[in-house]
Structure 1
Amino acid sequence: MRYLISYKRLIWLLVFACFFWLMLRITIRYIPAQSDVSFLQIKQTEVIGVKGYLLVFYIHVYSAIFVLLAGFTQFNSHILAKYPKIHRSLGYLYTGTVLVLAAPSGIFIGWFANGGLTAKISFVLLGLLWFWFTIKSILLILKRNVKGHQSFMYRSFALATSAITLRLWKVILVYLFHPAPIDVYQIIAWLGWIPNLLIAEWIIKNKTTQ
């Protein structure tokens, strides 16, 4: 049993390392902040024509890595059992960053997403659900509903990881099918987060039936 626990921890650490490395690579592209680097090269209409777009975009990009770092620790049973204060502090960091910075900025820039109305709706919905799941998790833990809190944190973090998964899906789709750019954006807008949420629901159901 001890070996099984160690094996699960190793897998968790490897997943975290992979996700963190990918997120770090994305973030580094935008340091120092510029108006025409990487993804912003195809968003010049918004950068020039939408007041505050560039600032909100960088708030979203820079806050995402803190969300990922803090979020991964929230599901570590060892930290929760041995270091509850660290769990609580990083929980404050995660929820505060999501509610104040990451989710609101994601909703804003989501409305200007490539891919037309289909993609816009998806990204705005993603941001709204992310905000709601996160604040719901806080309300539940304040009522000392630990299971409910954990369930909504799983849902919240599933949406947080969409920053990585939508880029992975983009690489897969382009490599396998070579679709038109607008089709790619419309597909990954939904594919980037719905499977994540379904996985979270499976984990929640699995835990409640154990």
Structure 2
Amino acid sequence: MKAKRILTFIFWTIIIAISVYFYYYNVFAYFYGYRNERFGTTLFTNQIWFVAHMVGATFSLFLGPVQFWPSVRKKYIRYHRMAGKLYIVGSLIAGISALRLSLINDCAGCRYPLFLLSVLFLLTTACAWIAIRRKNIVAHQQFMTRSYTLALAFVFVRLYQILPLDFLYGPIHNAEVERTVNEWIFSFVPLIIVEIVMIWLPSLKKTRRANHKQ
């Protein structure tokens, strides 16, 4: 039990550290004056979408971890509900703006995984809200896990420069192809891993126990 707590602590420490790193080098840069050509020249061109995405993603990134801590859910129910609502609203804003941003990505091949990632992020977040409205706690927790995993995917896809996967599939000499491959991998492999751990493996355990009883 103690080992599990330590591993859980290490896991969340890494996730939060990665989120802070991403936030510092990608979000703070905007407030210090960095502008990409895709941003446009005024707030009401493409900049409004970037601002909306950053604001919404802030709620997703930093409220997400707290929602998974059992002690917070049990002891501070009002906070859990309020934070959950802010997470859902922020995620919907971040997802909708990401749909627009996917269409103007300077990497043409990256537009497809980013668009699909945005759609899935919106769907899982909406399903989490519908599930809790219907008081289906299990489904709510599962869809929240998926939603937060996809929120982190937006972070992971920005880490390809410091976490290259060349050791897995060899060097790719075309920069756009490399970005596209990494976009697909960092966007959806975490979700696949979550599905395996959350759904596949428990279903096998249940089947084994049922067969043992028979």
Shorter-chain TM-score range: 0.7 to 0.9
Distance in 2 (alpha carbons) for counterparts of 1:185 and 1:58: 23
Taking a change above 3 Å as real, the CA distance of residues 172 and 160 of structure 1, as seen in their structure-2 partners, is same
What corresponds to 2:180 in structure 1? Answer: 186
Over 3 Å off, 4+ runs: 206-210
Shift of 1:79: 0.9
Farther-moved stretch of structure 1 (18-27 vs 102-111):
18-27
What corresponds to 2:90 in structure 1? Answer: 97
Shift of 1:28: 1.3
Counterpart AA for 1:17:
I
What corresponds to 2:197 in structure 1? Answer: 203
What corresponds to 1:19 in structure 2? Answer: 18
Taking a change above 3 Å as real, the CA distance of residues 171 and 6 of structure 1, as seen in their structure-2 partners, is closer
How much is the aligned-residue C-alpha RMSD, in angstroms? 2.5
- Is 2:98 the partner of 1:106? yes
Alignment of 1:60-209 (within 5 A): 60-99=53-92, 101-116=93-108, 118-173=109-164, 177=171, 179-205=173-199, 206=201, 209=205
Counterpart AA for 1:28:
F
Distance in 1 (alpha carbons) for counterparts of 2:72 and 2:154: 25
Taking a change above 3 Å as real, the CA distance of residues 81 and 98 of structure 1, as seen in their structure-2 partners, is same
Q: Is the 8 A contact 2:59 2:91 kept in 1?
A: no
Taking a change above 3 Å as real, the CA distance of residues 73 and 207 of structure 1, as seen in their structure-2 partners, is farther
Gapped regions of structure 1 (runs ≥ 5): none
Gapped regions of structure 2 (runs ≥ 5): 207-214
Secondary structure of the corresponding residue to residue 172 of structure 1: coil
Shift of 1:162: 1.2
Counterpart AA for 2:188:
I
Counterpart AA for 2:29:
R
Q: Deviations over 1:12-71 (max 9, x none)?
A: 441243123213312211114x4xx2xx43xx256259x621111122123322210011
Shift of 1:5: 4.5
Counterpart AA for 1:151:
Q
Query: Normalized against structure 1, the TM-score is what?
Result: 0.83
Shift of 1:86: 1.5
